[in-house]
Every structure is written in C-alpha cells, then in structure tokens.
Amino acid sequence: MQQRMSVCQVQPWLDAAEQEAVAGCFERQWLTEGPQAAYLRDQLGTLTQAAHVALAPNGTLGLFLALLALDLPRGSEVIMPSFTFMATASAAVFAGLKPVLVDVDPHTFSATPEAFERAVTARTSAFMPVHIYGQAAYAEDVAALGERLDIPVLEDAAQACGVRYRGRHAGTLGTLGVLSFFADKSVTMGEGGAVLTDDAALGRRLKLLRNQGREHSGTFVHEALGMNFRVTDMQCAVGNVQLARLEQVRADRLRRYALYEEGLRGLPGLEFMAVDPDSEFIPFRFPLLSRRMPELRQALEAAGVQTRSMFYPLHLQPCLKGLIDPVSLPVSERLYEQGICLPIHQGVTDEEVAQIVGLIRSTLVPRVNRGLVAVG
C-alpha cells in the first residue's frame, strides 16, 4: 500500500540564513525600515532595472499605493481580468475606482490586449493586466496598447518576481508594476510588496504617499498628504536572503513543473496552461484543468496532498455585487469549475511529484481498465 504523503499547497523555503539575517536586526537594534530595506530596494532595482522601487507592506497595499500615485478620477473604470486574486479588484475599489472585468484566454489564463481594447470606454482610466501563475503573457502588447491609447498600465506582477518578458522584468513594461512577497511567492518576506516605475514624477509621489507625505522620516513638515506604507527591516532582511536564492528557486520549480507535465501528458481530458513563448516562467503552482476535478482533488487530499481550486472569478464575487456591471465570462468560470492547483514549492520533492503524478494517473485511468485495454 502506498504511504500517506504530507504535502501542503504552500510552504516557504526558510533556513538558518533567514534566521541569522533577522537576528542581525536585533543585534543592530534596528527594527523599522533601515539598512536592510535600503539594500532590498537596491537589489530589486538591479533585478528589475526599474528606476524607482517603493517598498510596501504587501502586494495588495502595493497595488493600492500605485493607484493612489496615479491619482485617477473617482469612479473611473479600471479594466482587469476576472481571473485573478481578489486583491487586484479590492485595491481598485478602495482607490475609488470601478473594476471592469474581462475574460482570459483559455490557454494562457491571461487577458489578451484585444480583450482590454474591447472593454475601453470614455470612462476608462487604467489597465491592470495580471501576470498569472508565474508568466507575464502579453505584457509588451498590453503596455503598447496603453501607450497608444494614452491609458496608464498598472501591472499586477504579484506572482511574477524574477520573470522577464523579452528581457524586461514583469512590472516594468507598463507605467507601474507591483510585486508581492507573500509566503507562497518565489521570493518571500512573509508579507511584503514593491511598486516599480520608471516615471520620476510617479516615483516621487510613491515616496511621499508611503511615508506620511515626506521624503524622509524625522521631520514634522509634511509637503503632501500621505499614509504609512513602510515595512520593517526584519521583513527586508528575510527578503534579501530570499532574493539571493531566486535562481535556485527558478531552476527547481521549472524542473518540478517539467516532471508534472511529462508524467501527466496524454492523460484523457487534462489541460495544462500554455506559456507565452516571449515570457520567462517561474511556476507559481502546477495548474491543471479537468472535468473530473472534484474526483482528483478528493483522491489527492485523501492521500495527504493539499490541493487548491483556481480563483473564483471576480465577476461572480459576492462582495463586488453592485460595484461592477454583471457579465458572463465563460473561460474564467470554467477555470474555477475545472481548475486544480498542485504544489510546486521547495518543500515538495521530485519523488513526491512522481507519487502525485502516479495518483492522478491511477484516478483517471483505473488499473482494471488499463489491464483490459492491454489485453484487448
């Protein structure tokens, strides 16, 4: 009998280096934003080549901060895919904007430039493309569309730290971009985020908005209205260690992704996500579509493998009722109905991936049938 596994969906890769880095903050007696934050900003600048990097407490507040910096007309429309995490829309709503939801491509799970263009009205004030599941599909074309129509583009690159599109880092192709460093991301600080931009005026607005309307702490003269979006040096110390491991994370996740793909290819009724060939890829999960999704999830959970569905589409979210126009977006709906996410983090071994693959194979093609097919 197969041994029960114990594989969770999300698990950060943490070891002694993070512990030492955090201990260093205590030794320096410096807990608030300080040397580790400055170093992290520099490292993110080098990685992304963004001219301005503003740290934020998390990706959600990073998106909110970026929208505040854009200072868009109240009630204007922000176009975004329905297939994304709730934060893309909640940031817009809290910034006084109206999310306009569009469907995604059935293969890349991302909204195409055509989908954005079709939804443009006289009230459109921004595009929010989302780089989902570790790729930055269509990043350049959506940014170009924004430029052509003079509509700012805020890239939700929460899931795409380290991912480049034709050599340009996700979140730097549009007007602004946001990264997340939540515990399930390829680089984590527990909670954390960063806003990226090349625009000097936006860079300055971000700086003021995130620090009580002043460039530097220690003064009580506030030239603008701002809030406190600062981070702690302990978070940043963890982030700095993690960033140095990004290439290892990329290689390991790509290897496990290939193991899943090779093991599952050809099974009846399974569909994988297609990756835009111009985008790099750092798998965020192993997303899979199957009409038999509930059965698969049940078998995996029973064997000790934690699974997740895909996102519940924004256009169906109860909390957005009355705030968005009713629409029917069949691809986003199907992704929720048939989608399953398999774990790919550093804590899953190649052997466990092989076991998960075996379990899916035996669920979809039961042994007795395989025997009959072979005999027949």
Judged by the rule CB under 6 A, the positions of this chain that interact with ligand PLP are 58-60, 84-85, 87-88, 130, 156, 158-159, 180, 182, 193
Residue closer to ligand PLP (CB basis): 40 or 270: 40
Between CA 83 and CA 104 the distance in angstroms is: 7
Residue closer to ligand PLP (CB basis): 36 or 60: 60
The residue sitting closest to ligand PLP, measured at its beta carbon, is 59
Cβ 110 vs Cβ 138: under 8 Å: yes
Cβ 168 vs Cβ 141: under 8 Å: no
Residue closer to ligand PLP (CB basis): 21 or 195: 195
- Of the candidates 10, 285, 8, 306, the residue with the CA atom closest to the CA atom of residue 132: 285
Strands (E), the chain: 52-56, 77-81, 98-102, 124-127, 154-156, 164-165, 168-169, 176-180, 193-197, 271-272, 286-289, 308-309, 339-342
Give me the least distance between CB of 63 and ligand PLP, in Å please.
6
Residue 339, strand partner residues: 289
Give me the least distance between CB of 342 and ligand PLP, in Å please.
17
Residue closer to ligand PLP (CB basis): 82 or 355: 82
Give me the least distance between CB of 2 and ligand PLP, in Å please.
32
Residue closer to ligand PLP (CB basis): 84 or 197: 84
Give me the least distance between CB of 73 and ligand PLP, in Å please.
23
Collect all residues with Cβ–Cβ distance below 8 Å to 161 and sequence separation of at least 6. 47, 170, 179, 180, 181, 185, 186, 187, 246, 282
Residue closer to ligand PLP (CB basis): 159 or 279: 159
Between CA 154 and CA 32 the distance in angstroms is: 28
The arrangement of strands across the sheet holding 271-272 comes to 271-272, 286-289, 339-342, 308-309
Give me the least distance between CB of 284 and ligand PLP, in Å please.
8
Give me the least distance between CB of 59 and ligand PLP, in Å please.
3
Name the residue type at position 169: H
Name the residue type at position 376: G
Sign of CA dihedral 148, 150, 156, 161: positive
Between CA 272 and CA 261 the distance in angstroms is: 8
Residue closer to ligand PLP (CB basis): 341 or 353: 341
Give me the least distance between CB of 182 and ligand PLP, in Å please.
4
- Write the DSSP string, 107-130: TT-S--HHHHHHT--TTEEEE--B
Give me the least distance between CB of 83 and ligand PLP, in Å please.
10
Residue 102, strand partner residues: 81
Phi, psi (rounded to 5 degrees) for 307: -115, 165
How far from each other are the two terminal CA atoms of the chain, in whole angstroms? Answer: 28
Residue closer to ligand PLP (CB basis): 339 or 357: 339
- Write the DSSP string, 287-345: EEE-TTHHHHHHHHHHTTB--EE-PPPGGG-GGGTTTS-----HHHHHHHHHEEEE--S
Give me the least distance between CB of 74 and ligand PLP, in Å please.
22
Residue closer to ligand PLP (CB basis): 257 or 363: 257
Residue closer to ligand PLP (CB basis): 83 or 357: 83
Give me the least distance between CB of 132 and ligand PLP, in Å please.
6
